Amino acid sequence: MDPSRDNLVIRFTTFWWAVGTFLIFALLLAVIWLFNYSDPTTLEDEAAKPRYVTKAKVDVAQAANLSAEAIEAAIPVVGKQLAASKPVAVEVPAQIVPGSDTAKKLAAAPAVDTKAVDTPAVADAPIDPAVMASGKVQFMVCAACHGQNGEGSPIAPPIAGSEWVMGPISNLIRIQLRGLQGPIMVKGTEYNIPGGMAAHAYQTDEQIAAVLTYVRNSFGNKASAVKAEQVAALRSEVGKPQVSAAELTKP
């Protein structure tokens, strides 16, 4: 080794130069690392992020809501207001409120002309099996009161063998569209069931025609088919009070 180098002072400064150089590189590395640093995020963190956002939104919304106490305090007030308020009749064509202006106007309307509907159809015209099938489905509603085989029940007169069922078509259509209020004589027995029969005007013209064709040609009954146009011709009956036997054409 060069003896001039074996000098304490030189060795001392060289040592510090080395340390300094090392530190400069360390600092450079630190700066590079700092600039490239990004938060290590896991998949779970990514998945959770939307939940935190939603939770924050929900918290804000809940804070803005009425408290449970405020709602509880409001219930009796709202209840009192409801109890004190008069019911308002809301009318849709299929549902006319009894006693409303529309109901009164309908009740005062002149009696419908049923002649066109009742002019004898060709009684022997073959009955469409598709119409009978559709009528059979529709009859499930009727069967609840009139019996599976139209035999009648304590809450409704019989359909089987009824002179009304095989009588004028307009009667049957009007009973479907308005319902029926007793008393009514069926097969020699007087029926006057409390409440009578409700209107079944929710059925389409085709459904009413089908169920009436079905009852007129089932359970031993035999009569002409009912056409949807005949039902349509009497649609103006909907909303009028339950029809009474006195208003119907004698079978």
Residues that bind ligand HEC in the complex, under the rule CB under 6 A: 141-142, 144-146, 155-159, 162, 164-165, 172, 175, 180-182, 184, 186, 191-193, 196-197, 200, 211, 215
User: Smallest gap, in angstroms, from Cβ of residue 101 to ligand HEC?
Assistant: 27
Whose Cβ is closer to ligand HEC: residue 102's or residue 221's? 221
Name which of 96 and 142 has its Cβ closer to ligand HEC: 142
Task: Rank residues 112 and 156 by Cβ distance to ligand HEC and give the closer one.
Answer: 156
Least CB distance from residue 218 to ligand HEC, whole Å? 11
For the bound state, the minimum distance from the C-beta of residue 204 to ligand HEC, rounded and expressed in Å, comes to: 12
Residue 126's beta-bridge partner residues? none
CB of 249 to ligand HEC, least distance (A): 13
Q: 210-244: buried (b, 16+ CB within 10 Å) or exposed (e) per residue?
A: bbbbbbbbbbebebbbbbeebbbbbeebbbbebbe
When the beta carbons of 96 and 210 are compared against ligand HEC, the nearer one is 210
Q: Which residue, among 206, 180, 204, has the nearest Cα to 191 in the 3D structure? A: 180
* 13/204 with CB nearer ligand HEC: 204
DSSP state of 180: E
Determine contact, residues 128/225, Cβ cutoff 8 Å. yes
Minimal distance in Å, beta carbon 180 to ligand HEC?
5
193, 155 in Cβ contact below 8 A? Answer: yes
**Contact indicator for 97, 103 with CB cutoff of 8 Å:** yes
Strand partners, 186: 189
Q: Please, how many CA atoms are within 13 Å of residue 239, restricted to the half-sphere of its CB?
A: 20
- Residue 190, strand partner residues: 185
Cβ proximity of 156 and 145 under 8 Å: yes
Nearer to ligand HEC, 89 or 141 (CB): 141
